[in-house]
Amino acid sequence: MSYVVTARKWRPQKFSEVVGQEHITTTLKNAIKDGRIAHAYLFTGPRGVGKTTTARILAKTLNCLNPVNYEPCNECEMCKAIKAGQLFDIIEIDAASNRGIDEMRTLRESVKYPPIKGKYKVYIIDEVHMLTKESFNAFLKTLEEPPSQTIFIFATTDVHKVPLTIISRCQRFDFRRIEMDTIKSLLNKIADSEKIEIDDKTLTLIARKADGALRDAESYFDQVVSFCGNPPDGRAGKIDSTTVSKILNLIDDEVYFLISNAVLDKNFKSVFEATDVVYKNGWNFTDFMDGLIEHFRNIMTVIITESTKSIESAEVFKKKYLDYIGKFSEGDILRLLNHLNKTGQELRYSQNQKLKIEIALCHLVGLERTSTISELIENLNNGNIELPSSKEKAEKKNYQVNPENKFFDKNRTVSYKDPLREPEQTFLTAEPTGDLDSIIKKWKGFADLVSEEKKFTLGHFFAASQPIDFSGNKISLQFTNDEEIKSFNINLDYLTKKAHEYFGKKLQFKAVERNDIKHTKKEPSEIKIISDTNERVNTEDQYVDLIINELGGEELS
């Protein structure tokens, strides 16, 4: 007997043998049991998940002479003829090669004839989305009202290409992607039957490569068996994971664990060891980055759930994932995943992907662990954080604030402040508020600066000005006559701004007339206030008040 590939040899012959699609097979069996058989079915889903196989089983069950528990017996004449493809009442059409309107017209004419031997005439149209628009239109009326003994079963991987007018006339069944554990279980059963020795790690590699398609997994299984050899003398052949990785060009998961351990140990050397392994084995760097992202996703799943139920991996690797519990925080994993996602997007535009990945992984290893504020507070309350000692705080260096800027006091310094201790400590050591002597010491430098910049408006009298009182942030200045006071008031905004730059604080000025030109401080009773920037004139005429207060005018006698 000639060789038959695994996908055909192990093709399910009953509903119960279809794996991963129980929601569909149960519905079809109950429909047959209750006699609720539709005239058209639409099977849609990924490749290799059992659409055509289920259609054949349905057609065989409907025409079986001796059904057992609403399953085909596979022993009667009809079942054998259907299995061999010799029953004319079961018509399989490939829509990819019979997509024209002429083929649909021929099909529409043949529908009128009753079945020859079976109970039903069943049309199985595979890849129905390949039909042309005209073909669909020509088929609409026949599909809506076919003869009572005619059933249509459509199968497609691209249901969005099928017109809604066709979908609305069918019962739609969506086939799922088959889970990795289900594929591994079936492959293990096939290996035992074929006397082939294969471990769980190898089965995981094959199932992951198939990406939910059982037919692909069985094809990879045949390829691996052909490479490793299956002795015909009854001895069991052996398949190891290293061989499978080479044949299918798969990246070994050990490389991913090397990277995650390097992040924990801050081992930059492991980064170059891992990329060197990927490069020498000829693995695709984009696939490597995708696998690394999935690896850290698995770590995050284990840390959050403290279990490996949500991980599709070999048992030996699931145990390694459990070891990461408590070593990564959720915030750290999210930062790592965000960094890897950005690198994966940038990788496609990189001319040197190996260098790009090495730099990205070095950044990954260099990231420090983070802690939330609640964790810091909890550790502080528990005494797990050691605060700086008094000696350490005394050794902190003080910094001068712009020591070369003449508008700042060189004696003003910034000192270290511990945010957790000594909250009363201040950053600046400034002069006491209201110290007239300190203002007088610096006044000459300030007056000379103003006189130099405003020589035509203030220079002739401001250099001779002298503060006579300093209370809070208000300075009283005495002048000789009214003309000097008027000039002073005109330039008041400039003087306020310049004093702020020079003294480092905002000051308010008050002009005072003096009867004696001597630079002596007079008692408050001897001083007559002429102009106070904070006082407003109130007269009986509101317009006069407005001119004096807002426009700086004065009343003439």
Q: Which is higher by pLDDT, 124 or 532?
A: 124
**In which residue are the tokens 């990795």 written?**
180
The domain at 436-551 falls in which architecture? 2-Layer Sandwich (3.30)
Across 97-134, b (16+ Cβ under 10 Å) vs e yields ebbebebbeebeeebeeebeebebbbbbbbbbbbbeee
Using DSSP's 3-state secondary structure scheme, residue 387 falls into coil
Where in the chain do CATH 1.20.272.10 domains reside? 253-366
Give 38-91 pLDDT, tens digit per residue: 999 999 999 999 999 999 999 999 999 999 889 999 899 999 998 888 888 899
- The mean-pLDDT minimum among 177-181, 222-226, 451-455, 533-537 falls in 533-537
Every domain range in the chain assigned CATH 3.40.50.300? 6-174
Residue 232: the pLDDT is 54
| pLDDT of 238 higher than 80 | no
Structure confidence by residue, pLDDT tens digits, 104-131:
888 888 888 888 888 999 999 999 999 8
DSSP state of 79: H
Query: Distance (Å, rounded) from C-alpha 54 to C-alpha 63?
Result: 14
CA distance 260 to 328: 10
Looking at mean pLDDT, say which of 169-173, 305-309, 546-550 comes out highest: 169-173
DSSP letters for 149-184: TEEEEEEES-GGGS-HHHHTTSEEEEPPPPPHHHHH
pTM for this entry: 0.62
- The answer to which of 12-21, 222-231, 316-325 has the lowest mean pLDDT is 222-231
**Does the pLDDT value for residue 459 go beyond 70?**
no
Locate 43 and state its tokens. 């099977």
Helix axis angle, 492-503 relative to 436-453, nearest 10°? 120
pLDDT in tens, 275-324: 999 998 888 899 999 999 999 999 999 999 988 888 888 888 888 999 99
Confidence band of 2 (pLDDT split at 50, 70, 90) = confident
- The b-or-e profile of 167-179 (16+ CB within 10 A means b, else e) is bebbbebebeebe
Strands 399-400 and 413-414, how do they pair?
antiparallel
The CA distance from 61 to 22, in Å, is 17
C-alpha span between 440 and 472 (Å, rounded):
15
How confident is the model over 16-28, as a mean pLDDT?
93
What per-residue confidence (pLDDT) applies to 252?
A: 85
Domain with CATH 3.30.300.180 in the chain: 436-551
Mean pLDDT of 238-253: 83
Does the structure show a pLDDT above 50 at 526? Answer: no
Which class does domain 6-174 fall in? alpha beta
The Cα diameter of the chain in Å comes to 136
The vertex-263 CA angle with 257 and 264, nearest 5°, equals 90
Rounded distance between C-alpha atoms, residue 244 and residue 225, angstroms: 10
pLDDT in tens, 342-360: 998 888 888 899 999 999 9
Q: What's the fold here for domain 180-248?
A: Helicase, Ruva Protein; domain 3 (1.10.8)
Confidence of residue 419 (pLDDT cuts 50, 70, 90): very low
Token pair, residue 373, equals 């504020």
531: left (phi over 0), alpha (psi -120 to 50) or beta: beta
Residue 151 reports pLDDT greater than 90: yes
Contact 100, 128 (CB under 8 A): no
CA distance 208 to 464: 91
What pLDDT is recorded for position 395? 52
- Tell me what pLDDT residue 173 has: 96
pLDDT for residue 233: 52
Residue 150 pLDDT: 92
In the chain, CATH 1.10.8.60 covers: 180-248
Task: Give Cα separations from 549 to 258, 324, 528, 532, 541 (angstroms).
Answer: 79, 75, 19, 11, 12
- pLDDT tens column, 264-276: 989 999 999 999 9
Angle at 303 between CA 299 and CA 304, to 5 degrees: 120
Task: Looking at the structure, give the CATH architecture of the domain made up of residues 253-366.
Answer: Up-down Bundle (1.20)
Residue 132 CA to residue 134 CA, distance in Å, equals: 5
CA distance 260 to 296: 8
Chain mean pLDDT for the chain: 79
pLDDT at 257: 93
